[in-house]
Structure 1
Amino acid sequence: MIRVGISGWRYAGWRGVFYPTGLPQRRELEHAAGRLTTIEVNGSFYSLQRPSSWRAWAAEVPEDFLFAVKGPRYITHMKKLVDVEAPLGTFLASGVLSLGARLGPLLWQLPPNLGFHPDRLAAFFDLLPRRTSEASAFAAAHHDASKLKEPADTASPEDRPLRHVLEVRHQSFWTPEFCELLRAHDIGMVVADSAGTWPMFDEVTSDLAYVRLHGDQELYTSGYSEKALDHWAEKVRQWDAQGLDVLVYFDNDAKVHAPFDAIALQERLGIAPSGREHQAGSSGVEHRR
C-alpha cells in the first residue's frame, strides 16, 4: 500500500487556489478526497471532534479512502503520556472508530521539550489498543462523558487491526534503545522532514513507513522542489520494495503547497485516487511550482 495525502484539509487560504472559487466549504473534503488517496486528520490534535463529524467525513470519501488520525495534544503535550487512561478512552469514544475501514494509523506527536523516557513510553505503548474491538472496549470502560460534545460513540463497524506511529522532536531520541523499544511494541517511527527545525529520524521500526513533510527549506511554508520530490519518490519506492506499507503526508500548508506537492508525488509514483485514471501533468502542479 502506498498512499499520498495532506495533513488537514480545511484551510481558508486554499479557497480559490486548490478549492475552486465558489465551492461550498462542506464539499472541500469531497474535493480533496477526489484528488488524493489519504488525509491526516489534525483537528483531533487540538480538540475532541464530534461523533457526528467522524460519521459525516466517512460518508464524504470513497470506500477505499484512508484517514490517519492525530491523537490529542492533551495526551502528548499536556499530560506528556502520564496518567492518560481517561483521556485516551475519551478520544476513542469521540467517534473516531466509526470511520471503520477508512481508519488508518493513529499518530502520536511528542512536543520538542519532551525527551526520551523509555519507561514512560513503554507504559503508554502498553495502553494502546491494537485492534478496533480492543479500542471499542477500552473507550467504553475509560471515557469521560462530560468531556464529549455529543453522546459517546464507542462502536466499531468491524474488527480491524489498529496501527500506531510516533513522531518525536528531541535529540535525546538518538539512541538504539529508542528504535528497539518501538520495534518491541510494533510502533512505527515517523520520518518527519521539518526543514532542519527538528532532528529527522528515518529508521523503519514496523511494517509501515509513515512520512510527514513539513517543508523543504522553510517550516510549513516552502514547497518541495522537483529534485526534492524526486528524492522522496525514490525513498517511497525503496520502502515499497522492502514490502512496507507507505503513507506520506504534506504539512506545508501555509502557502497552499501541500495539496499540489502531494499530487506531484502521486504522479511520480504512478498512483491516483480511486476511479481516476493517472494522467501525468494533469493536476496543474507546474503552475504552483
Structure 2
Amino acid sequence: MRLHVGCAMWTLKSWQGRFLPHPLPAQERLRHYAGWCNAVEGNTTFYATPARDTVASWTQQTDPDFRFVVKLPKLITHEGRLTGVDEPLQAFLTAIEPLGPRAEALWIQLPGSFAPTDVPVLARFLRRLPTSHRYAVEVRHPAFFDDPRSARLLEDVLGTAAAEWIPFDTTAFFQSPPTSDAEREAWTRKPRMPLRTHALTDRPIVRYLGRDDTARTVAGWQHWVDTTAGWLREGRSPTMFIHTPDNADAPALARRFHDEVRARVPGLAALPEPVPVEPLTLF
C-alpha cells in the first residue's frame, strides 16, 4: 500500500530558496524535489524525446521508490494520432528505458478532437505496445464523459490492455471566476473536465487543478481524500498530482494531501522529511 504524490514539474523559479536551494545546478534540482514528493509528471517529454543519458541522470537523482508518469511525445499522440508512429515510439521507449520500475506509467494524453469514433485506433495502438510498461490514457472529448456508451467503449478497450484512465479534475478551478493573473491565464488554457473518480486498475492516477488560494484548493480536493483513502483500503496504490495555476506552493500542497489521506489510513507510511533549505539572502 503506497500513495505517490507530486507536481507537474520538479523545478520552478518561485521554488528557489523555498523548496529547492538557490543557487542549484540544473542536474541537482530533481534530487532536491524528490525530498518533497515521491512522484512527478513527465510533461517535458511531450515536446521532445529526451536523450537516454538525460533519463539515466533522473534515476541517479531519485530513490528506487520514486515514480515518473511520463507523457508520450506529441509527435505520437497529437500529430501522428497513434498511427504510423513506430519509429518515434521506439525512440521514446529506448530513451526512457533507464527509468525501469520508476516509470509508474506511460501517459498517453490524447487531443480533445480524439473522439469515440477513434477508439479503435487507440485499441490497435495499445495492442502493439510492449507489456513491460503500464499505460494510462487521458481523453478530453466531451462524449467520453457525457455519453455512457462512449465511456463504456473506452473502458472496455483500456480494460483489455490493463491500462488506466487518467482524470484531470478541473471542477474546483472552474467553480468561480479567476482572481489572479495566473488564474486568468489558466482560465483560457485549461480544459473544463467533468469529475470522474472511477479507477480501472490497481494503480489509479489523478491530476487535480486547484486555485492559487490554498484554502480553496484544499476544500476542492476533499472528495479525492475520501476516494484515495478508499482506494488504499482496497489495496490499490494511487498517484495524485497537485496543480495550481501558479504552482507556487505545489510541493507543500502535495505533501499536505498525503498527510490528509494518511490521517484516514494510519497504515500509510509517511513521506521522508525534505532537506531544509536556507532562506534567500540579499548578499
TM range (shorter): 0.7 to 0.9
TM-score of the superposed pair, with normalisation by structure 1: 0.77
- 8 Å CA contact 1:6–1:251 kept in 2: the answer is yes
Post-superposition shift, 1:3? Answer: 0.9
1:26-175 matches, within 5 Å, as 26-94=27-95, 96-116=96-116, 117-131=118-132, 162-174=133-145, 175=150
Please tell me whether the aligned partners of residues 135 and 164 of structure 2 are also in contact (alpha carbons under 8 angstroms).
yes
**1:226 to 2:218 alignment:** yes
Greater shift, 23-32 or 13-22, is seen at: 13-22
Query: Hey, what's the Cα distance between the residues in 1 that align with 2:22 and 2:37?
Result: 19
- Assess if the C-alpha contact under 8 Å between 1:169 and 1:199 holds in 2: no
Letter paired with 2:232 = D
- Structure 1 gaps of 5+ residues are 132-161, 284-289
| Aligned mates of 1:26, 1:34 — CA distance in 2 | 15
In structure 1, distance between residues paired with 2:213 and 2:77:
27
Which residue of 2 is the match for residue 190 of structure 1? Answer: 166
Which protein has greater RCO, CA pairs closer than 8 Å, 6+ apart?
2
Q: TM-score, normalised by structure 2?
A: 0.78
Mapped partners of 2:12, 2:124: distance in 1? 36
Deviates more, 1:62-71 or 1:224-233: 224-233
Q: CA deviation at 1:251?
A: 3.2
Task: Name the residue aligned to 2:232.
Answer: 240
Return the alpha-carbon distance in structure 2 between the equivalents of residues 222 and 72 of structure 1: 32
* Superposition deviation, residue 226 in structure 1: 2.9
User: CA distance change for structure 1 residues 226 and 254 in 2, over 3 Å: closer, same or farther?
Assistant: closer
Work out whether residues 41 and 241 of structure 2, in 8 Å CA contact, stay in contact via their aligned partners in 1. Answer: yes
Which ranges in structure 2 are unaligned for 5 or more consecutive residues?
175-191, 263-268, 278-283
Q: Does 1:177 align with 2:172?
A: no
Contact 1:189–1:202 under 8 Å retained in 2: no
Q: Which residue of 2 aligns with 1:150?
A: none
Q: Flag the 1:253–1:55 CA change in 2: closer, same or farther, 3 A.
A: farther
C-alpha distance 210-52 of structure 1, shift in aligned 2 (>3 A) = same
